[in-house]
Homo-oligomer: A and B are copies of this chain.
Amino acid sequence: MDVQGFAKKYDEVRAMPLEGGGIIRWLITHRDGAPNFSMRLINVEGGKSTPAHSHDYEHEIFIIEGNGVATIGDKNFKVGRDSFIFIPGNKYHTIKAETDMKMICVVPIKAAIEILGK
C-alpha cells in the first residue's frame, strides 16, 4: 500500500463517547497507514474525567486548553494549557477536568487496533 499523507481539521473526525463523560476522536490510526502510534484528541467538560483505569500501554498527552488534575498511580499533578503528561504502561491514571479541557493523547498502534478493531 502506498500510504498517502494528509491534513484535516479535527472536527472532520467522528466523536465517540468516553467513560467518565469525555469525547474522543481518533485522528490518525492504522486505518490511515500509521505503523507505530495513534494520535487522538480528547475533550472533557469541567467536572468530568477521562477514564480511571490502567492498561499495559503508555500515554503521551499535551493539554491544549483547560485546567485539571492528573492522577498517575498515587500522585496528583495540577495540569493546564501547555502541560504535557507521560503515563507509563500499567499505571493507574485519570484526569479530572476543572474547566473544559482539550488535549492530544497518543497511544501505541496496538491500542488503536485493540480498541477500534482492524
**Interchain CB contact under 8 A, A106 and B9:** no
In this complex, the interface size class of chain A, counting residues with CB under 8 Å from chain B, is 35 or more
* Chain B residues whose C-beta falls within 8 Å of the C-beta of A41 in the assembled complex: 62, 84
A3 to B73, CA, bound (A): 11
* Chain B residues whose C-beta falls within 8 Å of the C-beta of A75 in the assembled complex: 5
A59 to B63, CA, bound (A): 19
Asked whether A47 is an interface residue with its Cβ less than 8 Å from the other chain, the reply is no
Candidate in A35, A58, A78, A79 with the most chain B CB atoms within 10 angstroms: A58
* Chain B residues whose C-beta falls within 8 Å of the C-beta of A8 in the assembled complex: 83-84
Choose from B11, B37, B64, B72 the contact partner of A36 (Cβ within 8 Å). B37
**Interchain CB contact under 8 A, B73 and A27:** no
**Residues 63-90 of chain A, each 1 if its beta carbon lies under 8 Å from chain B, else 0:** 0100000101101011100111111110
